[in-house]
Structure 1
């Protein structure tokens, strides 16, 4: 087993994992678009998230009232450039009736954008695995 074989296995495994995550999130976005309950939320805070690999970032905390009138708070999952939201900003929110905690900000960059990003990353790792296999 050479380094090429190990590279193909590692890149292929990462590609499959990312593909699975992307497809799962894509299915959730599809369900949110078809069956989601739409409402408005407000960014009530931006909390600091310390990450070992990239340093600190800020995550918006969004609050909204679900169908029963209960206050629900959630933090966006995808962070980075262009994903921030100012405290006090009113944002569209979508959630499934049985899972208000799984709500998402109903903006392309917060619903479809992360799915596209993960699927493109899966494609890059799959391509790298093929490239390693062909050149090894």
Structure 2
């Protein structure tokens, strides 16, 4: 009896997971700071962080490919994630494109992505970070105050 109940429960859960519409979002591009590549060079090798972000729940999208850290000198990034169909997804970039940067104090920029039905493969070409808002986030337990 218990086995049949467990099997029925697994079948119901499996069906609901399969019936949920999901899509993959794939994006590549190059980070710029005042028109110059914003990669590893020039800031003691501090990584930049690129994430696909669920704008509705303010949480990261599940990453299934690519890298969150941009560790190359040219600022080139590639990331791929999966999210429920219809959920607004944005590109979130944590970077050091501001005067007198502090290692653990990242400036945060959000970029809208075109909303599409089904899977999306986007080429952002160049992503300029210099004009972003003054929103900061710490990657450690310390408070972030760059000014």
TM over 0.5: no
Q: TM-score, normalised by structure 1?
A: 0.29
More strand by share: 2
Q: TM-score, normalised by structure 2?
A: 0.28
The answer to which structure, 1 or 2, has the higher relative contact order (CA under 8 A, 6+ apart) is 1
